[in-house]
């Protein structure tokens, strides 16, 4: 996680800037979890102090599939600047895949970016594990930006074989991003997780914010690491830090 203190004042939580909409199904989870965690920590009627910028995911998805990552980064960087101007003291990019442009987004603001892969890797290391299986979009599983970030924390990262990667990716975009959660697809993910565990994965990183809508600890023979929850926990911890 990028360090920094933001502009929060003593006794008042820092404002979390959420850059979401990729997809809104998982961004809704970010909002819910942030408020639940703050209420758990502070009690009573407390809720999270946050501002949210939500993109049109169709526009982002087209930039992804056409490989226009710089344009996507510019779009998200502009929104990050808007969040900072709106009073955000720290920033979370509510998507695993778009952490491909995290450096571009971070460079656009003066507030700290809570990096999702760093928060996830910290949880894996706390659990005493060194080898994880990674599930996510094809971009996340096949490109270096995410796997290398995890490896930088001393982790060995396994990904599914090509056919499994294609099916994991398809279910994310054709079903989960549209709010469709089916038992058939849950079993597909269980089977992929089982094969990763058989290949040596000691834990499974649910490296797409939508995957937690489909599977959880009960679907895996090894520990799972829900990146959405871990990301929000890290952001709330920074928000509430003295």
Kindly name the residue from 94, 95, 97, 137 that is annotated as catalytic. 95
Residue 60 lies in a domain: yes
Residues 111 and 147 in one domain: no
Question: Is 131 marked active-site?
Answer: no
Residues 158 and 123 in one domain: yes
Kindly name the residue from 137, 140, 208, 227 that is annotated as catalytic. 208
pLDDT above 90: percentage of residues in the chain: 91
* pLDDT > 60? residue 209: yes
Question: Is 95 marked active-site?
Answer: yes
8 pLDDT band, cuts 50/70/90, is very low
For residue 237, the model assigns a pLDDT of: 97
Query: Cis bond leading into 23, ω under 30°?
Result: yes
CATH number at residue 56: 3.40.50.1860
Q: pLDDT tens-digit profile of 213-228?
A: 999 999 999 999 999 9
Q: How far apart are CA 205 and CA 224, in angstroms?
A: 6
Residue 5 lies in a domain: no
Residues 90 and 156 in one domain: no
The DSSP code sequence of 156-208 is: EEE---HHHHHHHHHHHHHTGGGT---HHHHHHHHHHHHHHHHTT-SEEEE-S
Residues 60 and 129 in one domain: no
Structural domain count of the chain:
2
Residues 111 and 25 in one domain: yes
Q: pLDDT tens-digit profile of 53-98?
A: 999 999 999 999 999 999 999 999 999 999 999 999 999 999 999 9
């Amino acid at each position: 996680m990028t360090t920094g203190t933001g502009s929060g004042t003593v006794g008042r939580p820092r404002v979390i800037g959420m850059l979401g909409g990729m997809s809104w199904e998982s961004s809704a989870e970010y909002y819910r979890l942030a408020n639940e965690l703050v209420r758990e920590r502070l009690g009573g009627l407390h809720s999270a102090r946050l501002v949210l910028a939500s993109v049109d995911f169709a526009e982002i998805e087209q930039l992804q599939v056409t490989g226009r990552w710089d344009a996507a980064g510019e779009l998200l960087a502009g929104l990050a600047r808007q969040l900072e101007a709106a009073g955000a003291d720290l920033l979370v990019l509510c998507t695993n895949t778009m952490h491909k442009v995290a450096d571009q987004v971070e460079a656009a603001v003066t507030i700290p970016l809570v990096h999702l892969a760093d928060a996830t890797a910290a949880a894996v290391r706390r659990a005493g594990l060194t080898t994880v299986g990674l599930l996510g979009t094809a971009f996340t599983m096949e490109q270096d930006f995410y796997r290398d970030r995890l490896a930088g924390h001393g982790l060995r990262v396994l990904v599914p074989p090509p056919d499994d990667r294609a099916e994991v990716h398809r279910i994310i975009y054709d079903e989960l991003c549209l709010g469709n959660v089916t038992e058939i697809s849950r079993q597909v993910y269980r089977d992929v997780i089982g094969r990763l565990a058989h290949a040596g994965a000691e834990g499974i990183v649910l490296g797409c914010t939508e995957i937690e809508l489909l599977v959880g600890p009960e679907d895996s023979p090894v520990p799972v690491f829900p990146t959405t929850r871990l990301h929000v926990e890290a952001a709330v911890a920074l928000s509430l830090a003295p």
